């Protein structure tokens, strides 16, 4: 997605060889017009997949997942990062390490909002090692729903996450692929 590459070059900040800060676009501020374009792009790529629900993880995936769900005219469900100790018998939970925070968090999705009748599109902001994605994929699989595929805004190809998802036979579409962040610059894969 050329417009997104351009915005990343203009507004992204290379924090290290591993981390690209995208606070201006994805992780702090959101541009509604650009975000709606991303949603249209994902909706177009999965138009024939029979999607009944879009699923993401709070919080940075929500805006683009909402844009996708609006375009597809289906509900959006976001997995919550669990902060409560109250047991919820309906909850599907997974423990995942957080790439940027260096901590472990529990993510949770209620069985009320996903079922075996669903065909799910999983949307997320950035894929690095893929821990968050693999956690949510396990939850989707345990719900009995069918996972039609996954869409990520930014794929960092130099980290293993995207490959491990594709190796499971899951269709993964990314809007922008980054090959490296060496020398303080963003190098796109294509």
Which residues in this chain contact ligand 5GP in the complex, by CB under 6 A?
Answer: 19-22, 27, 60, 99-100, 124-133, 161
> d(Cα 89, Cα 76) in Å, to the nearest integer?
22
Q: Closer to ligand 5GP by CB, 55 or 132: give it.
A: 132
Q: Which is nearer to ligand 5GP, 149 or 161 (CB)?
A: 161
C-alpha distance from residue 77 to each of 1, 18, 102 (Å): 25, 29, 25
Nearer to ligand 5GP, 118 or 125 (CB): 125
Q: Are 186 and 14 in contact (CB under 8 A)?
A: yes
Shortest distance (Å) from residue 143 CB to ligand 5GP: 20
DSSP 158: T
Q: Smallest distance, Å, CB 129 to ligand 5GP?
A: 3
Strand partners, 172: 150
Q: How far is the CB of 18 from ligand 5GP (least distance, A)?
A: 7
**Going along 41-183, which residue ranges are E strands?**
53-57, 76-81, 91-97, 104-110, 119-127, 146-156, 172-180
Give least dist CB 89 to ligand 5GP, A: 27
Binding-site residue numbers for 5-phospho-alpha-D-ribose 1-diphosphate are 128-132
């Amino acid at each position: 997605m050329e417009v997104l590459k351009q915005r990343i070059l203009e507004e992204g900040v290379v924090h290290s060889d591993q981390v690209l800060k995208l606070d201006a676009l994805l992780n702090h501020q959101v541009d509604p017009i650009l975000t709606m374009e991303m949603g249209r792009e994902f909706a177009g790529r999965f138009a024939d997949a029979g999607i009944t629900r879009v699923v993401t993880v709070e919080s940075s995936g929500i805006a683009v997942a909402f844009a996708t769900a609006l375009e597809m005219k289906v509900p959006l469900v976001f997995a919550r990062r669990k902060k409560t100790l109250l047991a919820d018998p309906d909850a599907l939970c997974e423990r995942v390490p957080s790439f940027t925070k260096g901590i472990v968090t529990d993510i949770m999705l209620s069985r009320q909002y996903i079922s075996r009748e669903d065909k799910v599109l999983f949307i997320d902001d950035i894929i690095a090692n893929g821990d968050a994605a693999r956690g949510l994929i396990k939850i989707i699989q345990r719900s009995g729903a069918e996972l039609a595929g996954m869409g990520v805004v930014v794929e960092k190809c130099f980290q293993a996450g995207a490959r491990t998802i594709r190796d499971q036979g899951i269709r993964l579409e990314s809007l922008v692929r980054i090959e490296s962040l060496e020398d303080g610059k963003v190098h796109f894969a294509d």
